[in-house]
Amino acid sequence: MADRSKVMGIKQVIHLEWINKLTDLILAGFDEKACRQEMFNVIMASKSNSISEQSCRTTVGIIISIWFPSDSIVKEYRDRALEALRSNPKERFLIQWCMIIVTYPVWFQVSRQVGRLLRLQDQITQSQVVSRIVDIYGDKEPVHRKTRYVVRSLINWGVLHESEKLGKYVLGEKHDLNQAKHIGLLIEAAIMLSPDQKLSLDIFRNEPALFPFNLPALSSHSIPVNRERVEIYRYGADEVLLELRH
């Protein structure tokens, strides 16, 4: 799997309702071309979204890439995510989150900085997030702009709320995670985004990018991952390293 840790890609605010519509189409049997056309029609018809046809096509391209990836490993992951969505639609938010972070790592990076800030203070600002992201991607105008798109997307997804104070945001809705199979998808996504596709279980347990979720206690002796995709190495009584199989 190519190093995609610095991939940004998000050039618009990504509405959760659009991603959900796309997966509805895929589950209904629409192929990529049909999904692309239908999503163009949906977004252009959206009363809350006044954009040009060109901007709409850009947005559709960003969204389509999430569920029709080019990377072979992400494709295999997508197939399992789609099956999980088909078998348990109630876990749709988690599955959408997994797919967007493996497609656009900047979403994960911005979420990580948001999570870190929320551990320190009740209210955060967009400029605080941007100042942390430029340390990773560089102090360039596109980095500022794309970071703002992700922050606005997090608001649209409901995990951040605008506070009563202008320009400040607070923690939004938290999602409980209960099903082991779906927690396994989230663990695997985090491994895919880690250096060398290796991740300590302790780091995952404390990952600030997962601030929208209430994680259950994860025992080092019962880790809900796909063993065909993830190798587990145990050191001592409770130290566990997870590595993506190649």
Taking CA atoms, 103 is separated from 36, 117, 223, 235, in Å, by: 17, 24, 24, 31
- The pLDDT of residue 50 is above 80: no
Helices (H), the chain: 16-27, 32-45, 53-67, 72-87, 92-103, 105-120, 126-137, 141-156, 180-192, 201-205
Measured between alpha carbons, how far is 241 from 39 in angstroms, rounded to an integer?
A: 40
Interval 68-122: pLDDT, tens: 999 888 999 999 999 999 999 999 999 999 999 999 999 999 999 999 999 999 9
- The pLDDT of residue 240 is above 80: yes
DSSP state of 158: T
Measured between alpha carbons, how far is 202 from 234 in angstroms, rounded to an integer?
A: 12
Query: Both tokens of residue 21?
Result: 């519509």
| CA nearest neighbour of 12 among 167, 152, 110 | 152
Interval 158-196: pLDDT, tens: 999 999 898 999 999 999 987 777 899 999 999 999 988
- Record the pTM: 0.92
pLDDT at 235: 85
CB 119 within 8 A of CB 208: yes
pLDDT at 195: 83
The amino acid that residue 55 corresponds to is: S
Tell me what the pLDDT averaged over the chain comes to. 91
